[in-house]
Amino acid sequence: MTVERMGFFTDTSVCIGCKACEVACKEWNAVPADGLDLLGQSFDNTGQLDANSWRHVAFIEQPAPDDSGDMRWLMMSDVCKHCTHAACLDVCPTGSLMRTEFDTVIVQADICNGCGYCVTACPYGVIDRREDDGRAWKCTLCYDRIGDGLRPACATACPTESIQYGPLDELRERAQARLEQLDLPEARLYGHDPDDGVGGQGAFFLLLDEPEVYGLPPAPVATTRNLPGMWKRAGFAALTMAAAAAVAFLGRRP
């Protein structure tokens, strides 16, 4: 039986910054508290995605684009992108990172050795290691819930349906329709294109400004996308050196 690829579509135009997604994620997945760290910049008390924050609600205050002199809030619930070409998965030496039948990427904490290769490989800076045990942690897209036909905890808790869960192809169609409905020059879809540097994200966004405003890379690229070519060139170079050594050795024989 073929299982559809599942994912997230986050419509930031209706996010109210309530942080229900953060709380639901922590409660369901037993994610440790990361403290009430008031950053002094906004209502954001987590700052970024890390081992103890699998959902992060960003708050951005900026001048309104209509030149009225008013201010506006941009809010976005960020999460692991569950990339099509997942660099974290490519570099994991133990098989701790795996792709599920829903085409999502999860960490199997019981076989993670804490090497940290995935942390440096992720183009979004999503994965992080916990200080107490050194193992890597990130969003699982509530693998245990969706396997039982339930929605992820964050999408279930979101009161405005800013976070939407479902088959990825359906979400892409829904996102395109929403973009056309908004008809705002600054609005754009981020991570929905299968031809981008990570082969398309399993969790993508409708943004109301440039990706950099939300702390997202404008043109993410899977850090391992050139690995096949690199191994091929390395193998060719090794064969060339071996052949040269054999010729040199044979050439000395009487």
Annotated binding site for [4Fe-4S] cluster: 15, 18, 21, 25, 80, 83, 88, 92, 112, 115, 118, 122, 139, 142, 154, 158
Rama region for 74: left / alpha / beta (φ>0; ψ in -120 to 50; rest): beta
Q: Measured between alpha carbons, how far is residue 29 from residues 58, 137, 152, 156, 170 in Å?
A: 21, 11, 10, 14, 26
243's CB contacts (< 8 A; 6+ apart) are none
Q: Is 53 left (phi over 0), alpha (psi -120 to 50) or beta?
A: beta
Per the annotation, binding residues are 15, 18, 21, 25, 80, 83, 88, 92, 112, 115, 118, 122, 139, 142, 154, 158
CA distance 201 to 86: 9
* Phi/psi at 71 (5° precision): -110, 155
Name beta bridge partners: 60. 74
CA nearest 198: which of 105, 96, 101, 114? 105
